[in-house]
Structure 1
Amino acid sequence: MKKPLKLGIPKGSLQNATIALFKRSGWEINVSGRSYFPEINDNEIECAICRAQEMSRYVHSGTLDAGLTGKDWIAENASDVHVVEDLVYSKVSARPARWVLAVPYNSEIKELKDLEGKKIATELVEFTKKYFSDRNINVCVEFSWGATEAKVVSGLADAIVEVTETESTIRAHGLKILHEIMKTNTQLIVNHKAWQDSEKREKIEQIALLLKGALRGEKLVGLKMNVSNAALEKIVSMLPSLNAPTVSPLYQTDWFSVETVVKSDIVRELIPHLLKTGAEGIIEYPLNKVV
């Protein structure tokens, strides 16, 4: 590659999760001190750390070739970028976050139209303005620098639009969710000019492939067990797999080694059933990537 790919890593709550995801994908990103340009074990990539809220603007302008940021901030900045891949991961859970409208439990506001003439505090200002404008509801939207939930509690706003994954912070402030504004997840985005560069495009596609593989591997585990010939057909019929389980005969016996890949959330139910059906020596192991 003539010039390294300039890749943006989101600063803040997603930073550690992003670096961990890259590590599972094969890239070591080393952030030292206050440096905004971390080292990476790939001579074809140069990393820069910037706020997720600003990432799409830098990618749009070409300051960065590619970066990871939320679908919400792409919409907020109305950035013209190419979305390469949806990557559902976060600091808390492997599910999309939600921007929601919340009000106090005792609020007289029961539905969106009740916000006519009211004040909303949020960091997602432009998107929120457009959302209510499209519904012909006149609201005053003010930017919140943080602690948005407290704006309602202290009477500085009538409602908030805030991002949540578990809803715990919203509930802890005595608020209730009235409406979901949008779902968001992390996206790998690229500048249109960089996407037309064959070498950079190939590198970006490599990153997308392995990040996606690491996320898929996180939700799956491998299972390996010994099964007698008498129980083999019944055991195999119980096993979900990507294609079909691998079955290999054990040396000079009528037993077999059976190996498969299953979703991690079914293992606790599956293993007891396998044991009762005749499987022995069951081994569960994590998967780094599934491509």
Structure 2
Amino acid sequence: MKLRLGLPKGSLQEATFQLFKKAGYNVSVGRRSYFPTIDDPEIEVLLMRAQEIPRYVHEGVLDAGLSGYDWITENEADVVEVADLVYSKQTNNPIRLVLAVANDSDIKEVEDLQGKRVATELVNVTKKFLKAHGVEAAVEFSYGATEVKVPHLVDAIADLTETGSSLRAHNLRIIATILQSNTKLHANKAAWEDDWKREKLQNMSVLLLGALRADAKVGLKMNVPEDKLPDILAVLPAMKKPTVSKLVESDWLAVEVVLDEKQVRDLIPAIKRAGAQDIIEYALNKVIP
């Protein structure tokens, strides 16, 4: 038996492969291939556009896949969410589907789109959002280069953004956020009812989430004189409590913690002043609570 898994091809592909590598799966693919190899003989991987994956999962062509909540919603796919994976092609932040207009447009809020023309790749989601705000507008499918269509072809766009830099570069202004989207590991309902496939997906979920947690954390170890330990512990954060062990035939202690990477820059000088020596910072592959 094999688990048939769809992974996104395109802008999210490299970030996805890196995440799987940290989780313990080595995935590789030729430049023109849609059938990657993976070092797990129980998994069969297909590469396809993220937009299509939820539909194929919903229809049972795939057992499971990775795609954004935006595309699951757009396809109205009735699937099981296995894991919420907060990562994207540039950062670990969620992406947003936003309504944007030209900087000098008279359109200030959603209601101003009444009777206007909107271009987007997510037609169904955009139509539902506008309808919920009592707005009737012509929503048309965009095949790409959506930002350049304002204001010459359409009055507004509904587009995905991660940092907003591309919108700003095209002199566009956001007037509303339609939804926020993370990548979801999602499964076909029949596959989820299968004991073997469900366990396989649950195991994968644990490893992928562990790899994502590790992205924001590091390990820190140091040697500390026994009489300086209270001073060190006073400033040293940890996931729970620091690990403290005695060095052999010595009045020194080894102290080890896992903490947020963003804390380390200010912390290392502080613990050095407090008496810590032999300080080592190291990267983590997975953090499993």
Report the TM-score range of the alignment, normalised by the length of the smaller protein.
over 0.9
The aligned runs of 1:144-155 (5 Å cut-off) are 144-153=142-151, 155=152
Q: For residue 169 of structure 1, what is the aligned residue in structure 2? A: 166
Q: For residue 113 of structure 1, what is the aligned residue in structure 2? A: 111
Matched, 1:178 2:179: no
Instruction: Give the one of 11, 18, 40 matched to 1:20.
Output: 18
Instruction: Give the one of 63, 66, 69 matched to 2:67.
Output: 69
Per-residue CA shift, 1:158-209, capped at 9, x if unaligned? 0111111111100001111111111001000000000000001110001100
The aligned runs of 1:62-211 (5 Å cut-off) are 62-153=60-151, 155-211=152-208
Q: Structure 2: which amino acid aligns with 1:236?
A: L
User: Contact 2:110–2:133 at 8 Å: present in 1 too?
Assistant: no
The aligned runs of 1:54-65 (5 Å cut-off) are 54-65=52-63
Q: Structure 1: which amino acid aligns with 2:274?
A: T
Per-residue CA shift, 1:193-242, capped at 9, x if unaligned? 00000001110001100000000011110000111111101212322212
Instruction: Give the SS at the match of 1:234.
Output: helix
Distance across 2 between alignment mates of 1:188 and 1:117? 38
Distance across 1 between alignment mates of 2:269 and 2:102? 46
Distance across 2 between alignment mates of 1:109 and 1:218? 40
Q: Structure 1: which amino acid aligns with 2:244?
A: V
Q: For residue 290 of structure 1, what is the aligned residue in structure 2? A: 287
Distance across 1 between alignment mates of 2:255 and 2:135? 61
Q: Structure 1: which amino acid aligns with 2:169?
A: A
Q: For residue 212 of structure 2, what is the aligned residue in structure 1? A: 215
CA RMSD of aligned residues (A): 0.8
Distance across 2 between alignment mates of 1:89 and 1:256? 38
Instruction: Give the one of 256, 259, 267 matched to 1:259.
Output: 256
Q: For residue 249 of structure 1, what is the aligned residue in structure 2? A: 246
Instruction: Give the one of 219, 230, 233 matched to 2:230.
Output: 233
Distance across 2 between alignment mates of 1:91 and 1:69? 13
Instruction: Give the SS at the match of 2:234.
Output: helix
Distance across 2 between alignment mates of 1:99 and 1:265? 28
Say which is worse superposed, 248-257 or 72-81, in terms of deviation: 248-257
Distance across 2 between alignment mates of 1:234 and 1:126? 58
Distance across 1 between alignment mates of 2:89 and 2:262? 19
Matched, 1:33 2:31: yes
TM-score of the superposed pair, with normalisation by structure 2: 0.98
Distance across 2 between alignment mates of 1:135 and 1:109? 15
Equivalent residues, number: 288
Q: Structure 1: which amino acid aligns with 2:50?
A: A
Shift of 1:277: 1.0
Q: Structure 2: which amino acid aligns with 1:197?
A: D
Task: Give structure 2 stretches of 5+ with no counterpart.
Answer: none
After superposing on structure 2, the runs of 4+ consecutive aligned residues of structure 1 that deviate more than 2 Å are none
Per-residue CA shift, 1:85-134, capped at 9, x if unaligned? 10000111101011111111110001111110000111111110111112
Distance across 1 between alignment mates of 2:171 and 2:215? 35
Identity %: 53
Instruction: Give the one of 264, 267, 270 matched to 1:270.
Output: 267
Q: Structure 1: which amino acid aligns with 2:214?
A: G
Task: Give structure 1 stretches of 5+ with no counterpart.
Answer: none
Distance across 2 between alignment mates of 1:226 and 1:99? 49
